[in-house]
Amino acid sequence: MKPNKTYSLAYSSCPNDTFIFKAIAGQLIDLQGYAFDIVLEDVETLNQNAAKGAYDITKLSFAAFGSLMDKYALLRTGSALGMGCGPLIISNPGRSLDDKARPVIAVPGLGTTAYHLFKFYMDDLFKGQDMQVMPMPFEKVMPAVMENKADFGVIIHEGRFVYQNMGLELKADLGQWWEDKTSLPIPLGCIAVKRDMDPKVVCTIQQLIRQSIDHAFLNPAMAYDYIKTHAQELDEDVIQQHIELYVNDFSKDIGKNGEAAIITFFEKAWASGLIENSRMPLFAC
């Protein structure tokens, strides 16, 4: 059957995204006559491409979405929110965040939720600390610290599970700080759609993503080869930890608690001057 229309769908190579979208990518569920041109990139590249309007449906960091509300609206499925899953600040042994004037901080992109949380944290506990922020792809953050190109690094994704194996030390858990401050889950990544898409199509696609998540949980082995092909960290235990941490009930439906977390996050970002306030509705459906 000829598809109704083909839409560009972009998400990251991280195990949580490939787990979520495997059933759509592999056409393992009924796609309701729709077809998708799928692109996999790191999140910061997705953020930058979305600023150009590159994709119809795309994974974004919540931080980037905050600056793109004129172009994109949120879906209620496919997001990464949760407790105990935030970015970490790491360093070589024996360092502290205030032990040097103007330390170099490696971050996984300025448009990432990780950087926003880092900024909130520093403004709260180290206000006035001068820093040199060095953005780079997330997989290069730990090597930059290990090679002393950066004093500290903000790590995400699989890095949470392997930094100790590389001789690095935890300096701060940004997710724990957020939870202590707000008692809300951490809004990390979202799925967004262009605002000019047909609302009926958007709601159908939202349902397909939910079905794809359900399929993945019911048939986890069917997703494994696809996940491992794209994962930065190939250790099976690390991949499974990653999925368990980032794919949860909030991925199926953001819900009221998730909405409260997102609104609080944007309020802090507006207050910090990281994004401009927007009156556009958050959700497409």
pLDDT tens readout for residues 94-147: 998 888 889 999 998 887 889 999 999 999 998 888 899 999 988 899 999 999
pLDDT tens readout for residues 46-66: 989 999 999 999 999 999 999
CATH number reported for the structural domain that contains residue 165 in this entry? 3.40.190.10
- Residue 210, domain member (yes or no): yes
Same domain, 111 and 162: yes
Residue 256 assigned ligand-binding role? no
pLDDT of residue 162: 86
**Domain boundary at 182, 213, 244, which?**
182
**Domain boundary at 155, 182, 209, which?**
182
pTM attached to this predicted model: 0.85
Same domain, 193 and 262: yes
pLDDT tens readout for residues 223-233: 778 888 887 66
Q: Is 32 a residue whose pLDDT tops 90?
A: yes
Residue of 116, 157, 215, 242 marked catalytic: 157
Specify whether 157 is catalytic: yes
Considering the chain, what is the average pLDDT of its residues?
91
Q: How far apart are CA 90 and CA 166, in angstroms?
A: 11
> What's the token pair of residue 43?
């999140």
Q: At a CB cut-off of 8 Å and minimum separation 6, what does 129 contact? A: 97, 98, 122
Same domain, 177 and 190: no
- Residue 112, domain member (yes or no): yes
Q: Range of 174's domain?
A: 88-182
Same domain, 74 and 189: yes
Residue 59 assigned ligand-binding role? yes
Highest-confidence segment of 137-141, 152-156, 158-162: 152-156
Residue 221 assigned ligand-binding role? no
Q: Is 1 a residue whose pLDDT tops 70?
A: no
